[in-house]
Chain A
């Protein structure tokens, strides 16, 4: 046990140290790199908390995708107007004291758990067998709290619409401003040719295995998005304009199938988002496959950023 205790303490020290350095760093680029490392370390903390599904999501989204978005933003903001606002030392000190109070309040809550800890785990396990799923987290996501999961996908699409809507009129319907580093026969080109086949297999595996083991549509979709972005950044495929006819159906196919099965549940199983007995697992897998595609496209386009060029005829 002691080796784990030492590991945990080391991990927490690293996480807190990197968190402080991302806040304190003068250079925004250094802060973002710190944030990516922080996300990866945090996913190890999630494994230590026996939440492997969360660890996968944190590594993929919290570190990877958010980090990529921020790196893109840093590159564009590099030559922006300077920052001439300075905050005086007394104000900083007062802020630090108040933030420490907030942290202390949370710490007290953490240190004084209730006598009888409430848990829904037995209820989850009791009915999980009926759904045919083996992964309790997937069970919660697609059976017990399916509405949350459906709305979460809708939020992704709404965010994408929001990002697109911020484009100036002149480039509406155009091409996202993803930076492309097309240099012939570089390592990037090589990796962009080598990795996607592997990545696509990994994504399909993650989506399929999500019913039984940690994994699922979201993690699979993120891997797909990462592969797509790699190919686009290396300049092997062009960034599509958002007016492409194949793009929008792909974006909504996941939520639409989810919603259609949910509505069918009203007729066949007497409740919205309920599955008819015996068909739960095939329906959930169908929803997950469609969601993986939609999530992959949505994440890829979100990471590609706001529209910058008008569509070329």
Chain B
């Protein structure tokens, strides 16, 4: 097994780990973190695609690499936005979880999930 396949398999495992954390952890902040893990697993699989397509004296195909750079930046922007939403939720409700305790809040709160 070469290095690219090894990293590809770990990328696949990271997607599984991230997805599990995203589904099972009730805290929004931990969900965001797990979602970032999931995303980085997908990026790693992309990196393997790039590495295997090495040609013309390059270590990898630059097109998927450039796409991953764009993806990391967009993921950061989305994370910043999501964290701001969580902090606003805290300001509004005093809680950091997405429970449905008070019926009045249900619609607005679950709308952010």
Contacts and interface: CB of A to CB of B under 8 A. Distances in A.
B97 A8 contact: no
A73 to B, nearest CB: 5
Interface residues of A, number: 92
Contacts, number: 280
A46 B26 CA distance: 31
Given A19-B18, A76-B90, A137 B66 contact: yes
A119 B9 contact: no
Interface string A121-157: 1101100000000001101110011001100100110
A224 interface: no
Interface in B34-81: 34, 36-37, 40, 43-45, 47-48, 50-63, 65-70, 72-81
B81 A159 contact: yes
A226 to B, nearest CB: 13
A200 to B, nearest CB: 21
A107 B80 contact: no
Given A48-B7, A70-B32, A99 B55 contact: no
B75 to A, nearest CB: 8
Contacts of B97: 81, 83-85
Interface string B1-40: 0011111111111111111110111110110111011001
Nearest to A106: B12
Interface of A is mostly: helix
Contact of A70 (B29, B56, B59, B96): B29
B36 A66 contact: yes
B52 A148 contact: no
Contacts of B9: 12, 107, 110-111
Nearest to A301: B80
B47 A12 contact: no
A51 B16 contact: no
26 contacts: A8-B6, A19-B17, A19-B18, A22-B33, A23-B37, A48-B3, A49-B60, A51-B65, A53-B69, A54-B47, A57-B69, A58-B40, A70-B29, A70-B79, A102-B16, A103-B12, A106-B45, A110-B5, A118-B53, A121-B58, A137-B65, A137-B69, A145-B70, A159-B78, A218-B69, A305-B87
Interface of B: 3-21, 23-27, 29-30, 32-34, 36-37, 40, 43-45, 47-48, 50-63, 65-70, 72-81, 83-88, 90-91, 93-97, 99
Interface of A: 4-5, 8-9, 12, 15-16, 19-20, 22-23, 28, 31-32, 35, 38-39, 42, 45-46, 48-51, 53-54, 57-58, 61-62, 65-66, 69-70, 72-74, 76-77, 80-81, 83-85, 87, 91-92, 95-96, 99-100, 102-104, 106-107, 109-111, 113, 117-122, 124-125, 136-137, 139-141, 144-145, 148-149, 152, 155-156, 158-160, 162-163, 166, 168, 218, 302-303, 305-306
